[in-house]
Chain A
């Protein structure tokens, strides 16, 4: 158990809908990262937050957004969902951005039908 929690574990929704994925980092970690992993694909970095501020953006679609709250938990919002958004979404955390050692949550499996 990495200490990073994510909810829900599974999510099934229809195209065009909007969902919110939630992540709580390990105790003491200030930086949160979101990744997408499609079937048999590598990890795609989406976005990073540090202490409530957006720090870096990767291949994140405009339909996706995220935020990190004062208690350091983070939410990833996915809207206007398409079939191709079906994937595993991981949250990871690290102490601070330059510490690089990231610990991953169990992931949310999103299925768009």
Chain B
């Protein structure tokens, strides 16, 4: 059965810290891995990764995919209180064109 596992489930850090969120997956016919940020509203798209080893970057956020070891990480540097959110990882596979979602990592940034 296809699955996506995120760790940790929750994380509390102080403003200015760097955090690394993990997403591992087991899916048939992997096509892409996506990261979303969800505050108290709809998930917003962050990154889509399809190739191993190529870092995607947006401001203080960056992400990389390892297709051999079947995982991705999302890094946030110099965290701010506005980074507090649930970060969702999802994987797209050819088998059904649906996204398979992880449970999310709840990140709390303390001032």
Contacts and interface: CB of A to CB of B under 8 A. Distances in A.
A48 B92 CA distance: 14
Interface in B48-90: 48, 88
Nearest to A91: B42
A106 B39 CA distance: 11
A98 B97 contact: yes
A45 B42 contact: no
Contact of A45 (B34, B92, B99, B103): B99
A43 interface: yes
B98 A58 contact: yes
Given A43-B88, A100-B92, A2 B98 contact: no
Contact of A102 (B31, B99, B103): B99
A2 B94 CA distance: 25
B101 A42 contact: yes
Interface residues of B, number: 21
Interface string A71-112: 000000000000000000010000001101111111100000
Contacts of A18: none
B44 interface: yes
A11 B42 CA distance: 17
A2 B42 contact: yes
Given A98-B31, A100-B32, A101-B34, A107 B99 contact: no
A82 B42 CA distance: 24
Given A103-B45, A107-B41, 4 more contacts: A56-B98, A98-B92, A100-B48, A100-B99
Interface of B: 31-32, 34, 36, 41-45, 48, 88, 92, 94, 96-99, 101-104
